[in-house]
C-alpha cells in the first residue's frame, strides 16, 4: 500500500481497499466513542444532580463512572492504534498486511463489546428512572 488516503480507486488492490475501509471504520469508532464520552458526562451529571435522591440504586452512577473510564481506555487504545497504522505503508508482504488486518479485527471486537455493554447500561438506567420523575408543567399566559 503506497498511501493511507481513504479514497478508493479502481487500481487499488483488495488489501489496499481493506486497509482504507478499516481506516474509515476506525475513524468512525473514535468519533462515536467521543460522543459516548459526552453522553456519559451528561448522564453522570443527571445522576449526581437531579436524579440522585430519586434513584434507590446508587450503583447506576458508579457504573456510569466506570464505563466512562473504560471508554477513555478504549479511546486511548484506538487513538494509539490509529497512529500506528501509518506504518502500513511499510508493509511489503501479505504477512505484514494480515497482521494489521488481524489487529483491526481484534479492535473491532473490543469496540462492539464495549458498545453492547454501554447500551445495556443505558437501557438499565432508563428502565429504572422511567416514572421516577415528572416534567414541570409550565402554563403560558394566553
> Can you tell me the distance from the alpha carbon of 104 to that of 98, in angstroms, rounded to the nearest whole number?
10
Question: pLDDT band at residue 133, thresholds of 50, 70 and 90?
Answer: low
Tell me the whole-structure pTM to 2 decimals.
0.82
Evaluated on CA atoms 97, 98, 102, 105, the torsion sign reads: positive
Q: Which three cell numbers stand for residue 136?
A: 414541570
Residues with Cβ within 8 Å of 5's Cβ and at least 6 positions away in sequence, in order, are 20
Q: Which three cell numbers stand for residue 1?
A: 500500500
Render pLDDT for 53-106 as a digit per residue (tens, 0 to 9).
666 666 888 899 999 999 999 999 999 999 999 888 888 899 999 999 999 999
Q: Where are the domains of the chain?
A: 14-129
Amino acid at each position: 500500500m503506497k498511501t493511507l488516503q481513504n479514497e478508493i480507486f479502481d487500481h487499488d488492490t483488495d488489501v489496499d481497499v481493506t486497509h482504507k475501509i478499516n481506516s474509515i471504520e476506525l475513524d468512525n469508532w473514535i468519533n462515536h466513542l467521543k460522543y459516548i464520552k459526552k453522553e456519559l458526562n451528561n448522564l453522570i451529571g443527571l445522576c449526581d444532580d437531579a436524579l440522585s435522591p430519586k434513584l434507590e440504586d446508587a450503583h447506576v452512577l458508579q457504573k456510569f463512572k466506570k464505563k466512562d473510564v473504560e471508554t477513555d481506555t478504549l479511546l486511548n487504545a484506538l487513538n494509539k492504534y490509529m497512529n500506528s497504522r501509518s506504518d502500513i505503508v511499510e508493509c511489503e508482504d501479505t504477512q505484514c498486511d494480515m497482521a494489521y488486518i488481524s489487529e483491526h479485527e481484534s479492535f473491532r471486537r473490543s469496540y462492539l463489546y464495549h458498545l453492547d455493554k454501554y447500551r445495556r447500561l443505558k437501557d438499565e438506567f432508563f428502565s429504572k428512572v422511567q416514572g421516577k420523575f415528572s416534567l414541570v408543567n409550565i402554563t403560558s399566559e394566553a
